[in-house]
Amino acid sequence: MTQSLPKLLTFNEFSEWYPNDGKRYELHQGVIFEMPPPTGAHEKVVGFIARKLTVEFDRLNLPYTIPKTALVKTPAAESTYLPDVLLLNLDNLNKEPLFQKQSIVSQAASVPIVIEVVSTNWRDDYYNKFRDYEEMGIPEYWIVDYAALGARKFIGNPKQSTIFVCELVDDEYQMTSFQGNTAISSPTFPKLNLTAQQIFDAAN
């Protein structure tokens, strides 16, 4: 007895289907995933990071913004993600074919930084999104593992709260880890005054 495989959706089918039901969805290689409701601690970390980055790009008078909700369409096989913090370059949005109608970006030039705050589906952030954001060419990707949920090969044994800043160098991400009171080094914001511990403390 053969079992039929579930139909994989194209990006166009996903974007046409996307409901206005207050829930959050991503497309992972043609399969729709409903994102779990974020915890309060998760949302406090997201808000804290967004506020710190907003202060920085305002100080530098850069043409950036952080949208409430926007999707990133990657070059991967029909994968579209809803990042926790997405820094957009306003100067490139007029070149985005989908943004005006659907708040979707697909060009690396539109995304100076993308940030994922790790939750229970940590493998997505460390593997799938790492690979797809790298392939897309996004210059800076943060993995914020404030709850120490990732694998020990990434965050140590015993596990420790860790932030990874992944910088695109020669088309590959170079990962740098930050823990405790170590100041975070951001290629986009070289003078960013922010430590890993300040982000971890935001969850409390």
Residue 115 CB contacts under 8 Å (≥ 6 apart), including other chains: 49, 83, 84, 85, 86, 87, 141, 142, 144
The strand pair at 104-105 and 71-73 is best described as parallel
Q: Say whether 137 sits in a helix, a strand or coil.
A: coil
The pLDDT confidence band at residue 6, using thresholds 50, 70 and 90, is low
pLDDT per position as a tens digit, 131-153: 999 999 999 999 999 999 999 99
User: For residue 1, is pLDDT > 50?
Assistant: no
The pLDDT confidence band at residue 2, using thresholds 50, 70 and 90, is very low
**Amino acid letter, residue 31:** V
The strand pair at 25-28 and 31-34 is best described as antiparallel
Share of the chain above pLDDT 70, in %: 96
**Domains and their CATH numbers in the chain:** 38-201 (3.90.1570.10)
CB 111 within 8 A of CB 39: no
Q: Is 29 left (phi over 0), alpha (psi -120 to 50) or beta?
A: left
pLDDT per position as a tens digit, 112-132: 999 999 998 899 999 999 999
Per the DSSP assignment, residues forming a β-bridge with 26 are 33
